Structure 1
């Protein structure tokens, strides 16, 4: 137990330091984004730049220097298996579309899995000078301030985050919006699922739902939400499932039942 705790502490400290460093690199690219070469992946809305790749390479290198036995899954370069029992799950820039279009709604997302659970979640939002940090049993913080969710907040007296992409049909997206509005809720979408999950942990949103999302987008936010006193729908992380997409839902205590019903989870 002692080695596991010290292992968690060391990785938590590293995750926070890397998030700040990677965030600074990404912010430098953001401030000169007109020089970036933008490429597309699945479709014209799914974009990537050298900034994404350099930030992921930086984080991979830092982890390899200190914890060479750890696994690593990044959005840009995929999964490298490890043998320590820990796996890092990283989105170097979540919200690349806002990033390349000059909007501040993007972040660096770093999670660590242990025994199939997200035990570390750190999200850096450089444009807002915000660092969200959480680790199993240690709570969640925003720039050092402890985050605790208010149980009186519901979908009817607060705002819910929604996400969508081309993995789901327009009709499905329309139905989930309709269901939320019919239940008395309202919603926002800012282009970064990871950042909206951090907002759930911070109490800015009462929940977040996206019908198809990847591990690198959600696991850091899941840890943050749990440590702030919220709930999340489990993400499948065993074997190849870790690289596949899955429904993502996280909620503050007062919104769990309503959002599970809306999402059908």
Structure 2
């Protein structure tokens, strides 16, 4: 085993451990959400609470204690450059709107990048007691069971996840959904892009598309989908591009070209 393989394995192990610990903390907040103070960011649909901030702080502290030279990008506290070649990309609670409204479709999303490529992806879903985990060349799993995508699943015989937010014009969202329905597909949106990407890796969805997402929402899911046998649209990660929003598309290979056409249309 090479030194680089060892480096990935060590971070993979830590990411799984941290995701479970962070999930327990987030679940405690969820079960006591009546006492949370909810704040808004850009608009009334973009919300945050002390739960998001404290869960991210826990993750940052655990990473810094073991890999102090690694970079870190989190939704709540931004980007810290590293010097090791590895960068952690984290959404402490993806699906905050479902979270604060008492719905279970939220998760903790933790990825590790090396050379701009997601080499570790872990998504923990506390309400369902599910841990999705993947690392480059090591496959993807759900609660330890290997995930392998079924090539017979297509746009026409499976569900596709669609995401939207106020960065995307309502007309564009309508165009995407109309296009999907027009080719015989159907769609779902559950409020968490990271979770729907994990569902793609598990074969529950055949693909996922959102015109504007941040790195912390998609990098863990991208690693999961790739290791399960799917593909994804590259996400710009060089310099300031890592901090910006970009289109996100990931799917079973059987659906990729049709979803790409929806994106390009």
Does TM-score exceed 0.5, indicating one fold?
yes
Q: Matched residue of 1:14: which SS?
A: helix
Runs of 4+ that moved beyond 4 A: none
Residues 107-159 of structure 1 deviation map (CA, whole Å, 9 limit, x = unaligned): 00000000110000000000000000000000000000000000011000000
Q: Matched residue of 2:210: which SS?
A: strand
What is the CA–CA distance in structure 2 between the aligned matches of 1:38 and 1:3, rounded to whole Å? 44
Structure 1 unaligned regions, length at least 5: none
Number of the residue aligned with 2:86: 86
Number of the residue aligned with 1:208: 208
Number of the residue aligned with 2:249: 249
Number of the residue aligned with 1:10: 10
Number of the residue aligned with 2:71: 71
Number of the residue aligned with 2:136: 136
What is the CA–CA distance in structure 1 between the aligned matches of 2:5 and 2:156, rounded to whole Å? 40
Residues 165-224 of structure 1 deviation map (CA, whole Å, 9 limit, x = unaligned): 000100000000000000100000000000000000000000000000000000000000
Residues 8-59 of structure 1 deviation map (CA, whole Å, 9 limit, x = unaligned): 0100000000000000000000000000000000000000000000000000
Q: Matched residue of 2:89: which SS?
A: strand
Return the TM-score normalized by structure 2: 0.99
- Mapping of residues 10-49 of structure 1, within 5 Å: 10-49=10-49
Counting matched residue pairs gives 265
Number of the residue aligned with 1:179: 179
What is the CA–CA distance in structure 2 between the aligned matches of 1:19 and 1:179, rounded to whole Å? 36
Number of the residue aligned with 1:234: 234
Return the TM-score normalized by structure 1: 0.99
What is the CA–CA distance in structure 1 between the aligned matches of 2:97 and 2:257, rounded to whole Å? 32
1:92 to partner: Cα distance: 0.1
Is 2:94 aligned against 1:104?
Answer: no
Structure 2 unaligned regions, length at least 5: none
Number of the residue aligned with 1:189: 189
What is the CA–CA distance in structure 1 between the aligned matches of 2:254 and 2:261, rounded to whole Å? 13
What is the CA–CA distance in structure 2 between the aligned matches of 1:154 and 1:263, rounded to whole Å? 17
Q: Matched residue of 1:109: which SS?
A: strand
1:4 to partner: Cα distance: 1.0
1:235 to partner: Cα distance: 0.4
What is the CA–CA distance in structure 1 between the aligned matches of 2:103 and 2:221, rounded to whole Å? 20
What is the CA–CA distance in structure 1 between the aligned matches of 2:257 and 2:86, rounded to whole Å? 32
Number of the residue aligned with 1:150: 150
Residues 72-95 of structure 1 deviation map (CA, whole Å, 9 limit, x = unaligned): 000000000000000000000000
